[in-house]
A and B are shown apart, each in its own frame.
Chain A
């Protein structure tokens, strides 16, 4: 039990599925929670365009409808990240990760700029294809060890998890918004509205921190 980010303070069980709080997961969970609260409370920034050669500048206007939708999507993204941080079940982790991918697309999808729409679409294609290795990894976990519970995997009594399952899991998480596939996502950040867009980055950062722990199990 020592290699899952410390001894769990609290394990919340729903039958076979469980949620556990260790020093590591609780830190990540609080980070996601605080940022979700910030998203709920803050007002969107208005992007400033500065005209070169003069001292003129313009701010972009964001309609209330657009802001509402994006705020909703950011909150959904925050909830999905929180779920992914504390879940003790491999399949739930992959589901939460896939949900973070969808909501990341959703956060910028309401922006009317064709450039942003195009980038969001391309990123969405990558995120959708990343669900293949994600769910595949969860299935191979279940097939090779007979359990999806992280606590049991960390217990050391089950057969070792094959490297292929771990690498599929990491590839899946990377596809949902990490480094090599980040190019399309960076373009999406041309969308105005700071706290919401930053939720995209923060959620994938948190997911990445968590998947390190998950891969080290079993």
Chain B
């Protein structure tokens, strides 16, 4: 079939890519261009995701990581370039999400759903819930606790790999350990990103 799902998806991604690049060409503000670039990055992940196999998932992750790394590097340069270092940032001062109950409900839903999903995706979803919660509330949490949880989950993950390698007959236990480990790890990592928003720069 000439117009299979893959072709249609590819066409959609192409169109959104073209729209993104057109916006990029029109925009002149440096910060807006950086944000638009992040938007343009999504279609490229879309092209990979369209493969629809396990390989695609394995390829999306490094692609995403590279994109985030470049974004962080560029925003750091932007901060130095515009001399923004001396302006402290304290959370998101958006009245609506700070005062209402909605953040608790939404982040609670995301965390529960993420735990049900488990694995890398689940960690991402649950972490997103926590990021949203920390961003809307500001933070007074103890970061050491989060870091410790991250370390322990990392250890569980590595332990699971050793079980896979040396005791393959217990693969189911190892699978569960790896799934729990990675869900905790990604959740904690993402919630740390959420709390760093409120960091006062020296």
User: Which residues of chain A have a CB within 8 Å of any CB of chain B?
Assistant: 91, 95, 98-99, 101-102, 105-106, 109, 114, 117-118, 120-121, 124-125, 127-129, 131-136, 138-140, 142-143
User: Does any Cβ of A come within 8 Å of B5's Cβ?
Assistant: no
- In the bound assembly, the distance between CA atoms of A158 and B132 in angstroms comes to 47
Docked-complex contact B70 and A102, CB < 8 angstroms: yes
A106 and chain B: residue at smallest CB distance? B73
The interface residues of chain B lying within 8 Å CB-to-CB of A117 are 77, 80-81
Docked-complex contact B62 and A128, CB < 8 angstroms: no
Q: Mark B16-37, 1 if CB is under 8 A from A, else 0.
A: 0100010010000010011001
- In the bound assembly, the distance between CA atoms of A98 and B6 in angstroms comes to 26
Closest-CB distance, B28 to chain A (whole angstroms) = 12
User: Does any Cβ of A come within 8 Å of B104's Cβ?
Assistant: no
Give the contact stretch, choosing among B41-49, B87-95, B108-116, B150-158.
B41-49
Docked-complex contact B33 and A125, CB < 8 angstroms: yes
Docked-complex contact B44 and A95, CB < 8 angstroms: no
User: Does any Cβ of A come within 8 Å of B8's Cβ?
Assistant: no
In the complex, 12 of the A-B residue pairs with CB atoms within 8 angstroms, ordered by the A residue number, are A102-B73, A121-B30, A125-B34, A129-B37, A131-B41, A131-B70, A135-B44, A135-B63, A136-B44, A139-B51, A143-B50, A143-B51
Docked-complex contact B76 and A140, CB < 8 angstroms: no
Docked-complex contact B51 and A131, CB < 8 angstroms: no
B55 and chain A: residue at smallest CB distance? A142
Docked-complex contact A109 and B70, CB < 8 angstroms: no
Q: Which of A95, A105, A114, A118 contacts B62 (CB 8 A)?
A: A95
B71 and chain A: residue at smallest CB distance? A128
Docked-complex contact B81 and A128, CB < 8 angstroms: no
Which B47-75 residues sit within 8 Å CB-CB of chain A? 47-48, 50-51, 55-56, 59, 62-63, 66-67, 69-71, 73-74
User: Does any Cβ of A come within 8 Å of B170's Cβ?
Assistant: no
Docked-complex contact A114 and B81, CB < 8 angstroms: yes
User: Among A105, A109, A129, A134, which residue has the most Cβ atoms of chain B within 10 A?
Assistant: A129
The interface residues of chain A lying within 8 Å CB-to-CB of B43 are 132, 136
Closest-CB distance, B116 to chain A (whole angstroms) = 29
The interface residues of chain A lying within 8 Å CB-to-CB of B56 are 139
Q: Which of B48, B73, B76 contacts A135 (CB 8 A)?
A: B48
- In the bound assembly, the distance between CA atoms of A109 and B50 in angstroms comes to 35
Docked-complex contact A125 and B74, CB < 8 angstroms: yes
- In the bound assembly, the distance between CA atoms of A17 and B148 in angstroms comes to 34
Docked-complex contact A121 and B70, CB < 8 angstroms: no
Q: Which of A91, A124, A136, A138 contacts B70 (CB 8 A)?
A: A124
User: Does any Cβ of A come within 8 Å of B40's Cβ?
Assistant: yes
Docked-complex contact A131 and B66, CB < 8 angstroms: yes
Q: Which of B17, B37, B50 contacts A125 (CB 8 A)?
A: B37
- In the bound assembly, the distance between CA atoms of A114 and B77 in angstroms comes to 10
User: Among A121, A125, A133, A134, which residue has the most Cβ atoms of chain B within 10 A?
Assistant: A121
- In the bound assembly, the distance between CA atoms of A105 and B33 in angstroms comes to 17
Q: A95-B66, A133-B44 are in contact. List 4 more A-B contacts (CB 8 A).
A: A105-B77, A106-B73, A143-B6, A143-B50
User: Among B59, B62, B66, which residue has the most Cβ atoms of chain A within 10 A?
Assistant: B66
The interface residues of chain B lying within 8 Å CB-to-CB of A125 are 33-34, 37, 74
The interface residues of chain B lying within 8 Å CB-to-CB of A98 are 66, 70
* Residues A102 and B66 in contact in the complex (CB < 8 Å), given A121-B30, A132-B17: yes
Closest-CB distance, B57 to chain A (whole angstroms) = 12
- In the bound assembly, the distance between CA atoms of A138 and B58 in angstroms comes to 13
Closest-CB distance, B56 to chain A (whole angstroms) = 8
Closest-CB distance, A158 to chain B (whole angstroms) = 15
